[in-house]
Chain A
Amino acid sequence: EPEVTQTPSHQVTQMGQEVILRCVPISNHLYFYWYRQILGQKVEFLVSFYNNEISEKSEIFDDQFSVERPDGSNFTLKIRSTKLEDSAMYFCASGAERGRGETQYFGPGTRLLVL
C-alpha cells in the first residue's frame, strides 16, 4: 500500500539555524499538507499546498516558514531561523482530492528539537 514518507525521523538543531523537513507524498496525490504537534498539545494545521502554491496557511505559518515541491516528488517544509518553540513533531500529509471529506494520508512525522 502506498504511504507517505518523511525524513529525517528526528532532527536536533541549534536555535537560529535553518532546517528542511522532507516528505514524499503518495505519487498520484495532488494536495499536500503540513501539520505539527507540540508535545502535549493538539495536532495543528500549518499549511496546505496545491498546484505549486499555498492554498491556505495558519497563523503559525509566518515568514520563517516556507514550503515547496522542488522536483515533483518531494514536498519540503523549511524553517529559516528556528526558535525554541518550533520544537515539535511535524507531520506531512497528502490527499488525492480537495477537501470535502477526502482522506488525508499522514507520514510518520519528523521530531524536531531546537536547542
Chain B
Amino acid sequence: AQSVTQPDIHITVSEGASLELRCNYSYGATPYLFWYVQSPGQGLQLLLKYFSGDTLVQGIKGFEAEFKRSQSSFNLRKPSVHWSDAAEYFCAVGDRSSNTGKLIFGQGTTLQVKP
C-alpha cells in the first residue's frame, strides 16, 4: 500500500536560516507528489507538485522540492525562512492508477520560526 512518511514532526529554525523538510514515500511506481501548507485557521494550500520531467520543482513563496527516485524522497527546501513560514507542512502522494485523484498524506511537520 502507498504511504508517506514525514520523519520530523516538529522543526524549529531561526529566521533567515535555510530549511529542509523531509518526505519519503512508498509506492510501486513514480507517484504524483505534492507539498501543502496549512496556516492556523486556513485550508491546505498547495506549495508545489511533481508530475513528471524536471526533478527540481519550484513552488510558491520561494519553496522548491527535489524528487529523488533512488531515495523515494521529495524533500521541501527554502534557502531563507521568514517568520510567516511558520505553519504545518504536509507531503502527499497521488496515485497514478487512481481515476479519482485520491491523495495520501504524511503526518505533517510543524515549522516554528525563531526571531
Contacts and interface: CB of A to CB of B under 8 A. Distances in A.
B96 A106 contact: no
B43 interface: yes
Interface residues of A, number: 29
Contacts of B44: 43, 91, 93, 106
B41 A108 contact: yes
Contacts of A98: 99-101
Contacts of A95: 101
Given A99-B99, A101-B49, A42 B107 contact: yes
Interface of B: 32, 36, 41-46, 49, 51-52, 90, 92, 94-96, 98-108
Interface of A: 3-4, 31, 33, 35, 41-45, 48, 50, 55-56, 91, 93, 95, 98-109
28 contacts: A3-B43, A31-B101, A35-B103, A43-B108, A44-B105, A48-B102, A55-B100, A56-B100, A56-B102, A91-B44, A93-B44, A95-B101, A98-B99, A98-B101, A99-B94, A100-B32, A100-B96, A100-B101, A101-B52, A101-B94, A103-B46, A104-B46, A106-B36, A106-B43, A106-B44, A107-B43, A108-B42, A108-B43
